[in-house]
């Protein structure tokens, strides 16, 4: 387990601090059972606020929004994209859970994988607003996750374009495996984005947090970006489905062409075998006693082979 403490300076810069009481933001990476109990007992919130991130199948949700005031911490559990290597050996993008726990004066976050968040947050749009510090960091994290989804969607589009350029030579299964992994990524994306959108919309309508004009404006922008990502993901899913069908058809067609060529070669090479077999018999045959019989047979064989090749080509057999 790794715990990092951050504070937001007056210049809107995040920096690490050594003491918990000085922190505006506490980030817990891969929490252990012991540390979960210690943290939840200290800040008085349910243990599943933190333990949820240990389950990669956890869905986005929110808890604690029915209070009249923030007596117990609030949970916003969002999903973010993370690259992994699939069983087929290609890059795949999954959606993993990320807990954002808002107390009265701190933000506590947790996830189950290493994340280098700081470089991506210091230039955040939310830091330029007058939003309360814990909410400001939470909004910027949600913004960052939305940006990540859009970034990976653009990456998938580029890979789709690259695969499309290889259509004419698609004879292997690798392209199909890569397509399958991209389709799986988009399924994860669609589910995660829909769930994130539900959580963000509920946070925006809540009167407990993010009720200021600046918070509402920032959340609205995140919701718009999330909806754009959902729409883009659906388009990519449809394109990949069509491309997958096209790939299968082209692979099958290319294999048919290969089989046709091999069949033509077999037919053409059968002609010399037949002629040679006939003149190899121990019986009298026409021109067998001629002085140049061997060369006449060679010319006859080549002529028949070329005529056969021309006929098959004319009939568009290959």
pLDDT given for residue 131 in this prediction: 67
* CB contact set of 233 (below 8 Å; sequence gap of 6+): 149, 153, 186, 189, 190, 193
pLDDT given for residue 152 in this prediction: 93
Q: What is the pTM of this model?
A: 0.77
Q: Give the architecture-level CATH label for domain 2-253.
A: 2-Layer Sandwich (3.30)
- Residue 104: burial class (beta carbons within 10 Å; 0-12, 13-18, 19+): exposed
Say which DSSP state 228 is in: H
pLDDT given for residue 318 in this prediction: 62
Mean pLDDT of the chain: 84
Yes or no: say if 144 and 117 are a contact pair by the CB < 8 Å rule: yes
The Cα–Cα gap between 78 and 101 comes to 11
pLDDT given for residue 109 in this prediction: 94
Structure tokens at 304: 């028949």
| % of the chain with per-residue pLDDT over 70 | 87
140: left (phi over 0), alpha (psi -120 to 50) or beta: alpha
In the chain, where the domains are located: 2-253, 254-314
List strand residue ranges (DSSP E) for the chain, in order: 2-8, 14-17, 25-29, 61-63, 74-85, 91-102, 107-111
| Low-confidence residues in the chain, pLDDT < 50 | none
Q: How far is CA 16 from CA 3, 109, 166, 177, in A?
A: 11, 15, 48, 43
The Cα–Cα gap between 235 and 152 comes to 14
Structure tokens at 29: 């990476």
**Region 254-314: CATH code:** 1.20.58
pLDDT given for residue 169 in this prediction: 63
């Amino acid at each position: 387990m790794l715990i990092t403490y951050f504070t937001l300076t007056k210049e809107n810069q995040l920096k690490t601090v050594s003491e918990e009481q000085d922190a505006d933001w506490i980030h817990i990476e891969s929490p252990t059972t012991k540390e979960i109990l210690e943290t939840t007992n200290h800040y008085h919130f349910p243990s599943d606020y933190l333990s949820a991130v240990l389950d990669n199948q956890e869905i986005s949700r929110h808890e604690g929004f029915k209070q009249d005031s923030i007596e117990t911490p609030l949970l916003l559990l969002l999903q973010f994209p993370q690259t992994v290597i699939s069983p087929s050996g290609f890059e795949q993008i999954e959606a993993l859970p990320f807990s954002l726990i808002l107390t009265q004066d701190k933000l506590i976050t947790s996830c189950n994988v290493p994340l280098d968040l700081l470089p991506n947050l210091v230039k955040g749009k939310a830091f330029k607003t007058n939003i309360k510090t814990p909410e400001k960091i939470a909004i910027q994290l949600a913004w960052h996750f939305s940006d990540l989804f859009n970034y990976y969607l653009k990456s998938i589009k580029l890979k789709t374009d690259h695969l499309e350029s290889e259509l004419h030579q698609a004879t292997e299964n690798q392209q199909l495996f890569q397509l399958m992994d991209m389709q799986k990524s988009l399924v994860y994306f669609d589910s995660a984005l829909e769930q994130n959108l539900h959580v963000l919309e509920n946070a925006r309508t809540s009167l407990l947090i993010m009720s200021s004009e600046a918070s509402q404006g920032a959340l609205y922008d995140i919701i718009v970006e999330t909806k754009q990502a959902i729409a883009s993901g659906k388009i990519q899913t449809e394109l990949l489905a069509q491309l997958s069908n096209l790939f299968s058809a082209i692979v099958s067609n290319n294999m048919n062409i290969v089989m046709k060529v091999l069949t033509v070669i077999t037919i053409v090479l059968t002609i010399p075998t037949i002629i040679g077999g006939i003149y190899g018999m121990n019986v009298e045959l026409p021109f067998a006693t001629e002085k140049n019989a061997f060369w006449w047979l060679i010319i006859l064989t080549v002529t028949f082979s070329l005529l056969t090749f021309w006929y098959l080509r004319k009939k568009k057999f290959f």
